[in-house]
Structure 1
Amino acid sequence: MTTPKLLNRLTFRQLQVFRAVHERQSYSRAAEALGLTQPAVSAQIRQLEQALGQPLFRYAGRTLHILPAADALAASARAIFGQVARLQMSLSDLDGTISGELNLAAVSTAQYVVPHLLARFRAHYPNVQIRLRVCNRAQALERLAEQRDDLVIMARVPRDEDLVFMPILDNEMIPVVWPGHPLLAAHRPTLEDLARHYLLMREPGSGVRGALEELAAEQDVALSHAIEMGTNEAVKQGVMAQLGVAVLPRLAVRLELEAGLLSRLDLPGFPLRHSWCTVYHRERFPTPVTELFLRFVRDHLNELQAHFSADPAPLPSHDVACLPEAAN
């Protein structure tokens, strides 16, 4: 097929639908993400395959197989949409506004930090539409592999030359108990002493759980008395209710520690430290808005680190009311 003929038959809508199917490896999930029916998605893909003269996907039972032509088209589609985003950014610069989308995924421990970054970023760039998805480490790794987001914010970044990352803040994980717990009066307690109690832990795939299990394996400590809970907030409330003890991010419990609702336990090997990082796959070219956000984070790292290293206190005002602009 000649290039002019292909250009005349391709549409941005077809590429948008294709990208959703390719990233999610499912017609039905792509339809849900785009707000379309599954037949509408199938029709767009069929028209695209006719324009290209090659099949892109093939179902075997309920499994969607991605064919070589689809991978080749995916690389071109990323470049095309990246150029469109840059055009939008350039036009926004010309009329004095910066607009676009920023899609983030953050592990649950980072939810205590990321909103502070987003508030300051939005104060400078109010026309950027922000979406934040909070997930556990296993889900973050899956989203990173599938390149669903502009950036993933997580700790313990996998060793992979195809990942580009930037450390932003230390994530300290500390043992916590309720005030008056007998371990607070013990002489030089250890992780083994902590593990004799009911230990409240996140689900498998959680970053905090993984870090704790690694330390326990190094010290040959069995974590035999675990009670699994689905969120850090549930774990924190469980410790305050004297259901068990836990290891949690310091930023998740600093208000409760300050108020005397929880107590920090000093154990050998703690605090566990891993840096939260912004991460993206090298093949997913950063959009102009993503590049702007990364530059903004770099410029404000010192302010952020100073705030979260100090005792709990409100951040300085950014002088922007959290109200939508009135319609003209």
Structure 2
Amino acid sequence: MVEKFKTYLKKYFPIGLRVEIIAVVILSVLIGVIFSTRKTIVVSVDGRSKKITTFCSTYRKVLDNSGISIGPKDKVKPSLDSRVENNTTLKIKRVVKVKVEADNKKLNLESAEDNVEDMLKAEKIGISKLDIVYPSRKHELKKGMNVVVTRVKTKDIKEDRPINYDTILKSDEQVENGTKKVVQEGQNGEKETVTRVVYQNGKEVSKKVISEIIKKQPVQKVIAIGTLTNYTPSRGTNLNYVESLQMRATAYTADYASTGKNPGDPAFGITASGTVARRNNGDYSSVAVDPRVIPLGTKLYIEGYGYAIAEDTGGAIKGNRLDLFFDSSSEVDNWGVRWVNVYVIR
């Protein structure tokens, strides 16, 4: 290509003009080379920018020629040894001085990291997820900052603990009033607990039960409280009762006037319970009651009448009333109507 160019010059241009043309071509080539190696970049140092025109091939040479020094911990992007690209920005972040308290040590450090967490990693100060870092891990690193790392550890302690049994009281009509009787002894239960203890810098700061497993249920202690009250009739021995009532008492016999039945009737003298109505001095006699007040079969002691058992009912015996059985009309007439104290006995 060059030989053809020389031949072309010799054939069409005189020697003087040829020299001038060659000089112009060489100059053009030189100018092209110069412009191809000339680059303009922006150097930003901690946010302050400066435009620099350079012929250097790497950013390190650009900074050296510009008198811009780089410390060992300063951060530079792109890297110092990468090739210079036209119209790029070289970012330089200078270190700041910070203090770090961790593991019973106080350190004076320099760092150009963006936040607290990155600084600690760069300084090989490991932190766990539980550790407390102040200021926060993502807090922007600033000059003069004091960073405190509190080491946090937990320990789970497993132990068996007793479950205290409850004591319950229940009324018992079979036990004399005011008397206590242990019906069932109590037994403690057992549970397995896991307690989490939290330590900060080796010192215990809190503990909390995080789980409980019942291994044995407790057994209640049952104490019977007697409700059976003592009563002494005017004649006879003491008797125990569970309830006392004041009731209006009338009297009846098995005759037609009282029951509407005559001798020979299959139901003559038969109570609502199916028993034969009877009057037993010193033993249980038949009485008629309202079953809603005194259930049939209930044993009673009636002042002025004696022991009785609720076996019968009557159309007029409603509510707080009872009808006492006698063997004769004269006894019925003699009783009449009166208010009496009635004791429910067991």
Relative to the length of structure 2, the TM-score reads 0.19
Structure number having the greater strand percentage: 2
Rg larger in structure: 2
Q: Which has the higher contact order (CA 8 A, sep 6+)?
A: 1
Relative to the length of structure 1, the TM-score reads 0.19
Structure number having the greater helix percentage: 1
